[in-house]
Amino acid sequence: MALRTDIAAQVCAHRGAILHFRSDPGARDDPASFEFLEDGLLVTRGGHVAAVGPAQELLPTLPADVEIVGHAESILMPGFVDTHIHYPQTDVIGSGGRQLLDWLEDYTFPTERRFSDPVYAAAVGEFFLDELIRNGTTTAMVFCTVHRTSVDAFFHSAAARQMRMVAGKILMDRNSPEYLRDSVSSGEQDSRELLQKWHGHERLSYAITPRSAITSSEAQLQSAGQLAKEFPDALIQTHVAENLEEIAWVRRLFPQARSYLDVYDSYGLLRERAIYAHCIHFDQADRVRMAQSGAAAAFCPCSNLYLGSGLFDMAAADDAGMPFSIATDVGGGNSFSMLRSLGDAYKIAQLSRQHLSPLRAFYLATLGGARALGLEDRVGQFTVGAEADFIVLDLRATPLIARRTAQSRTLAEKLLVLMALGDDRVVSHTYVLGREVSVA
């Protein structure tokens, strides 16, 4: 630990092409929204960003003994922020091509059952965090299981790696196997204790986590809403409007509600720092309500395609002012790679006769995610004082990527090649608080 602190306290400089965002580039790639330095320098001190700018300007300001790490033929950027992912579903990825409700029943619930065992939970948590790092994801909003042991195991591993993570215990007291249910009182007590133990500890935040309006009783949704009121700076995460059969079931359970989203709204679960996964089958009133409340959507392209759930409407989200971020939704999503999620988001836009610009895509995967989580002053951009979580993307990662990026004339063209062809092979280095944590 002492050694790690010493290393982090040192000044270090990384030289190469640097890209980071100040705001959403929108549909028109607003040039004021990002900074791209062809030959840039990122200086870190004590695990935080000390300076970023053109190398020629900053190099003379550095003490002579500062190590300069060169990253040729690469782009440095803030680490990816994945706003919706399930660590216990690492072993569900690539399970048979069923739609949501069958997939949950046949694969997901039996797998999640195993997380009552803290040893198993810890082993999967370690594997999961290695995968995030391999894929350049330095912050994620994570579902654990209904078992409090699964949350303790995950947070212990994330704290040991000094990673900025958000996670929570699933609340689920009905319409699921008996072996995976909590009760209103045990769910509330476990959530409160876990929140008090982990929220704000090291770089960790707690998210109140009702799985869905199907799997929580009205009393449990009420209790989740109470917790959200009692702990206004905690986050909230859940699923909404993902699949048509799921929505029909919600309508039967809550006939008085205007929409699936309205169910959560009526229990006080719509507010800032609330992330709603999917938001596919929304109407415009739902999107406007999301925007008014300060909640954000997590668009999960790989999952939406893999489970055949539907096509998220980015243009309608923009029209309503509903913020959205990008997420893998492992294990409904079939990859940990945010690059592959961006590639699939691009294809979903194409299918909908819309366009996702590559610059905007990389904004969504970095600062856009950090903003959704209310963490933009800590991660997702290279402002001075921000935490130095960053990645290096190798423009020569494969022969094909090298060939196509060499032919690309603009930054946007290069980024599009990374989205279209890239995955974990492109992420050559991952840094957390200025320290390299890359896994083999």
Other beta carbons less than 10 A from residue 379's beta carbon: 23
Residue selected from 20, 45, 86, 147 as contacting ligand GUN according to rule CB under 6 A? 86
Q: Give least dist CB 300 to ligand GUN, A.
A: 7
Residue type, 351: L
- Asked if 237 interacts with ligand GUN (CB under 6 A), we say no
Cα 6 off chain centre by: 30
Cα(286)–Cα(260) distance, integer angstroms: 9
Stretch that binds ligand GUN, among 8-16, 36-44, 100-108, 286-294 (CB under 6 A): 100-108
* Residue number closest to ligand GUN, CB atom: 332
Cα(99)–Cα(307) distance, integer angstroms: 5
- Asked if 242 interacts with ligand GUN (CB under 6 A), we say yes
Q: Give least dist CB 174 to ligand GUN, A.
A: 13
Binding mask 197-216 for ligand GUN (x = CB under 6 A): --------------xx----
Cβ closer to ligand GUN: 299 or 431?
A: 299
The answer to whether 323 and 291 have CB atoms below 8 angstroms apart is: yes
- Asked if 124 interacts with ligand GUN (CB under 6 A), we say no
Cβ closer to Zn ion: 239 or 360?
A: 239
The answer to whether 82 and 142 have CB atoms below 8 angstroms apart is: no
| DSSP per-residue codes, 94-120 | T-----HHHHIIIIIHHHHGGGGSHHH
Binding mask 313-332 for Zn ion (x = CB under 5 A): ----------------x---
For the record, the structure tokens of 305 come out as 């395609």
Of residues 258 through 287, those in contact with Zn ion by CB under 5 A are 277
Cβ closer to ligand GUN: 309 or 405?
A: 309
Residue selected from 303, 337, 357, 430 as contacting ligand GUN according to rule CB under 6 A? 303
Residue type, 290: M
Residue selected from 83, 108, 111, 259 as contacting ligand GUN according to rule CB under 6 A? 108
Cα(422)–Cα(403) distance, integer angstroms: 13
Cα angle 203-67-39, degrees, rounded to a multiple of 5: 90
Which residues have a Cβ under 8 Å from the Cβ of 166 and sit 6 or more positions away?
A: 139, 140, 141, 142, 204, 205, 206, 207, 235, 237, 373
- Asked if 100 interacts with ligand GUN (CB under 6 A), we say yes
Residue selected from 239, 289, 378, 414 as contacting ligand GUN according to rule CB under 6 A? 239
Summarize as ranges the residues that interact with ligand GUN (CB under 6 A).
Answer: 86, 100, 104, 108, 211-212, 239, 242, 303, 329, 332
